[in-house]
Structure 1
């Protein structure tokens, strides 16, 4: 978990008196850590929380391991993505070379370590007690933004989630909380971050590939993806064999096909390129370990049907590349039906200007929101595939236990990587607009996001090159330069979130988990009128029109806005009033949106998508509309 203070909030030891408690830095001992930051005067802090882990496992952590040191690499990577300074000459094996920086360079940061190794260094456990303790510390330390790249594997009720409870307290104290949406896509309802008070981020690609091409003996060429640290010595062709044909005599075909441990026969594999099948249950890097053990000179990983087009730039220990399902099918057919199949794997090459981009990553969790269907999730999407950032040199770059390699920078993929991108943007907005609430900042990012690709001609697609929807990317792909001046925002306050929980059925005793003061639920409240920057109608009654209200707050100059509507295909959408005139900053205006079904609608689809946009000529304030027919 990462806390960020914008650069404008800076103190030094010279001439400004005592640094406030919330700006104190790294605790050198466990006692200092427990003494709530009464330690060195540095502007980068690192704290650790482990008592929940010890209680849950009924064992004490080794005294030498009770430290904020990053032995996994994940925290270092997300931290530098959120707030790393400008560093020239960053690359991985010389690939992707350039100047790297975080979203809020020069920001002051604090790290809160809550996850600890269980059975081995790659098996991390994050206990609720430690997560809540970290939230409490971050609130006490006075951070402005929290980047939380951790979560559960399945949706849960708010009072069952330490992240939901902790983030509510943070937002109630004016701290923006950005979270990962989850890596369980593309299954629907896989989104794990349903809180309306947090900003949930999906993952999308960037316009850069680390390409490694496969050339077959029939001269067909297929593009693969890799970050192998080694390459084949020349452009000559090498014998090609499928893993199934290379299996040891007592191995099953299916298990050997996935290059399972000790399933390849060195006599059959040595000096050849082996083709392995990839699916959800096997590890791509371990496949390379097995291929190398058997003496392969290279490896081609071919996706199975379910894995489709999703490719990963892995740091393989031998020359290797991963190809999509269609290309892999051709390679398997060639290898299985050619008398003497041959192939070559090219050296990795950085390719820029990849089109189309961005694509929503296949692994990125999808909506709809199963806990609160009226709240569209994810909120936005941001870069989360093949992201190069700093990495702990105390951690191996792979999950291979005997991997002795160490790197200062690494390429990783996941919504853990997209989350700090947005946290960095939030840090910049907080520096420019320190008086904005977390909801106002969130609205600015959401309503200025784009649903077009990077050249602005086509809608964002998913990894299968099908048109993506708001259930995939939320309001769209973030645009930091637009978010700083959104014109209008949909604002919310702590009482709005409490009313939301009331509507969700929470009673006074349950609300105490979220709010330190006693709160009485209102007699009437409709979640349809919850002032969220999106409009989601999860149970549309085709016999009756449905009306929702929203309130916009002017954060720009005096302006008049007109509404533009693209209704979901089988619906009619009207907005009243159609013009909003703001005479001063801070002025609020209410409008109503009425949705009716078109006559003779066939109800053949589940979800329908549209949007409404308030336009002043200078500003465009866009909100997706998602409507679901009842079944």
Structure 2
């Protein structure tokens, strides 16, 4: 500490009270609040490897254990609570960043939510500097927003019977890892998560010796060496800590995935087989189905339906645009966009409307969102919205009736990739297939803080014990909890070995691997994967050196001043990753990659290979049979990819699978092909 303070004081000729954090575990360095000229003076010092401006990352939000059958997986591992002494047979530590401890009260406490709290911490120093001390929030580990409570209790917590959201989806709430202990590190404030605060939280978590890190936050990723999550996660990996993080909510555009370093499990979002339907009955029409979280009585009798009644912007139900005389006592059709969805319902209610149909448009064609509106409200898609608009504008007296259903199960198809989920490739390293896997992230029921309303609107005075949220923030803790189950079952496995069974997802024929990685998580399959792909710190070091950074920048990532990159990959795809991302061009039409797999199944196992490949690329695997000896035996195989076409468009964005199989196991490895002009 003295050295940091002395260095800071001598370089900046200023006080040392602007020193915010000193990092010991996740990073080697410190965070300070400096004026531009002070930062420049410090940058010129010979002992400074790098200096980076702090930027905020974002939270990504917009029945699942039963859907995933994780309860069955937990039972298989012997983690059911004893009927006699109430104790768990196995416990392990899982941490959640960002998150917060649930505020306790006599009727609303953490035991009601079923979370076994190990510790709670807050990291606020840069946030406090950023707002110049002007904050109305309470700088406490307690959750005043809900995001942390929701994500933490998705990953871990005991079952809670009678859980419901405003009377909907009533049942038993279950987490992925029911007997895990949770450590909380709150690093996000006012929906912003500053890099220096995040790194401080990760630094403390590594010091505390946690087993799993769950990171439901993300921002813009440019370089590995200036990303706090990437750097902190590398050190966590060195310590044997499994790190999972969200992929982001910027889909469906390609190249939007976040947190794509290969030592991070990158998780995107999918739907489940339950939705929250509402029925719309236009006069003399067949029933139209939409989505809604509204849980009270519908409209038994038809009422008038209006659209675009007011000044400019009334079609979107912007604040102050609706004509109360035209709206009072009627259902209002509102276009999505221009303001928050929940705010539209408030605008309709304040103008005297008694219901709302919120419709996607061609310019706002995103996932349907079932919000907890202030009035009867239904969300519909573009096609239904266009039909409703046509009806209102063509009928002189349009009328409608609306009813609501608590929930609907066995919805098909499911799972479906959420439209908001970010897609690959991961631009800083396109030779590694990212994202890794998809997990439930649409309309997820989980615990909620008593300090925040379900809509997060200041006008909402309702309080709930459970809320329904969507986003890759919600999918990430599903995988974190599953990783905790695997860590408890196989404590000898490396973090990379744990990753392979999780990525051995369900069939992905409905979408490409840039959209869903290796597939949808399957806890039952993950328990007995047969083969795993192992990676060491040295493997990751060779990968980082292959990024063609300066030695100083490499040292920033790996926290090792002795690194000289004597070993580096000439092609980043050489990393022993459980997938292939093959980059071709007119001068590079044949590519060889090798992989090594480790037997974690029965001794003496033998596997055959099956190949599914696009016509434009020939794929040859050698050998075609892998015969293993004892558990832990390793075998290598080589894959040759050869272009069958001289037309790059025939190759670009195609994909296939290599599957090693026997009677007990099916180990599928996705391969994707990209054609880039040299």
Change (3 A) 1:590 1:373: same
Residue matched to 1:451: 507
| Residues 294-331 of structure 1: CA deviation (Å, up to 9, x unaligned) | 01010000111244362111100000000111011101
| Kept after mapping to 1: 8 A contact 2:221/2:227 | no
1:563 is aligned to 2:637: no
Shift of 1:290: 0.2
Change (3 A) 1:239 1:425: same
1:88 match: secondary structure: strand
Give the whole-Å Cα distance in 1 for the aligned partners of 2:585 and 2:513. Answer: 17
Higher mean C-alpha deviation, range 598-607 or range 350-359: 598-607
Structure 1 gaps of 5+ residues are 11-18, 29-41, 118-123, 453-458, 461-467
- Equivalent of 2:655, from 598, 609, 629? 609
- Equivalent of 1:586, from 626, 632, 643? 632
2:365 match: secondary structure: coil
Give the whole-Å Cα distance in 2 for the aligned partners of 1:115 and 1:224. Answer: 34
Shift of 1:175: 0.2
2:263 match: secondary structure: coil
1:388 is aligned to 2:445: yes
- Equivalent of 1:238, from 300, 303, 319? 303
- Equivalent of 2:535, from 482, 489, 492? 492
Higher mean C-alpha deviation, range 434-443 or range 308-317: 308-317
Shift of 1:20: 13
Higher mean C-alpha deviation, range 592-601 or range 397-406: 592-601
Q: Equivalent residues in 2 for 1:97-136 (5 A)?
A: 97-117=170-190, 124-136=191-203
Give the whole-Å Cα distance in 2 for the aligned partners of 1:20 and 1:298. Answer: 48
- Equivalent of 2:411, from 354, 359, 363? 354
| Kept after mapping to 2: 8 A contact 1:227/1:314 | yes
- Equivalent of 2:152, from 79, 92, 113? 79
Give the whole-Å Cα distance in 1 for the aligned partners of 2:363 and 2:122. Answer: 39
Q: Equivalent residues in 2 for 1:213-228 (5 A)?
A: 213-228=279-294
- Equivalent of 2:563, from 497, 507, 519? 519
Residue matched to 1:59: 133
Q: Equivalent residues in 2 for 1:395-414 (5 A)?
A: 395-414=452-471
Residue matched to 1:35: none
1:313 is aligned to 2:380: no
Residue matched to 1:174: 240
Higher mean C-alpha deviation, range 469-478 or range 603-612: 603-612
1:256 is aligned to 2:314: yes
| Residues 484-539 of structure 1: CA deviation (Å, up to 9, x unaligned) | 11111111111111111111122332233233332221255231211010100133
Shift of 1:7: 10
Give the whole-Å Cα distance in 1 for the aligned partners of 2:647 and 2:164. Answer: 54
Q: Where do 4+ consecutive residues of structure 1 move more than 4 Å?
A: 19-23, 540-543, 599-602
Change (3 A) 1:258 1:564: same
Give the whole-Å Cα distance in 1 for the aligned partners of 2:598 and 2:242. Answer: 19
Shift of 1:44: 2.1
Change (3 A) 1:364 1:375: same
Count residues in correspondence.
572
Change (3 A) 1:309 1:215: farther
1:317 match: secondary structure: coil
| Kept after mapping to 2: 8 A contact 1:82/1:104 | yes
Residue matched to 1:510: 553
| Kept after mapping to 2: 8 A contact 1:229/1:317 | no
Change (3 A) 1:111 1:7: farther
Give the whole-Å Cα distance in 2 for the aligned partners of 1:573 and 1:542. Answer: 18
Residue matched to 2:327: 269
Shift of 1:443: 1.3
Shift of 1:602: 7.3
Shift of 1:348: 3.2
Residue matched to 2:496: 439
Give the whole-Å Cα distance in 2 for the aligned partners of 1:20 and 1:204. Answer: 27
Q: TM-score, normalised by structure 2?
A: 0.81
1:146 is aligned to 2:190: no
Structure 2 gaps of 5+ residues are 1-58, 60-76, 82-90, 103-115
Shift of 1:231: 3.1
Give the whole-Å Cα distance in 2 for the aligned partners of 1:618 and 1:604. Answer: 36
Give the whole-Å Cα distance in 1 for the aligned partners of 2:171 and 2:607. Answer: 42
Change (3 A) 1:352 1:199: same
Change (3 A) 1:599 1:58: closer
| Residues 436-486 of structure 1: CA deviation (Å, up to 9, x unaligned) | 11111011211x21125xxxxxx33xxxxxxx2111100000001111111
Shift of 1:605: 5.7
- Equivalent of 1:483, from 519, 522, 526? 526
Residue matched to 1:420: 477
| Residues 276-301 of structure 1: CA deviation (Å, up to 9, x unaligned) | 0113x431100000000001010000
Give the whole-Å Cα distance in 1 for the aligned partners of 2:284 and 2:428. Answer: 53
Shift of 1:275: 0.1
Shift of 1:91: 1.2
Change (3 A) 1:504 1:172: same
Change (3 A) 1:542 1:349: farther
Change (3 A) 1:181 1:430: same
| Kept after mapping to 2: 8 A contact 1:396/1:403 | yes
Shift of 1:540: 4.3
Give the whole-Å Cα distance in 2 for the aligned partners of 1:554 and 1:138. Answer: 32
Give the whole-Å Cα distance in 2 for the aligned partners of 1:76 and 1:533. Answer: 32
Higher mean C-alpha deviation, range 348-357 or range 177-186: 348-357
Change (3 A) 1:573 1:482: same
Give the whole-Å Cα distance in 1 for the aligned partners of 2:351 and 2:600. Answer: 64
Higher mean C-alpha deviation, range 390-399 or range 194-203: 390-399
Change (3 A) 1:574 1:102: same
Give the whole-Å Cα distance in 1 for the aligned partners of 2:384 and 2:135. Answer: 48
- Equivalent of 1:91, from 142, 161, 164? 164
Shift of 1:97: 1.4
**CA RMSD between the two structures:** 2.4
| Kept after mapping to 1: 8 A contact 2:124/2:197 | yes
Give the whole-Å Cα distance in 1 for the aligned partners of 2:614 and 2:423. Answer: 20
Shift of 1:589: 1.1
Give the whole-Å Cα distance in 2 for the aligned partners of 1:593 and 1:27. Answer: 49
| Kept after mapping to 2: 8 A contact 1:156/1:192 | no
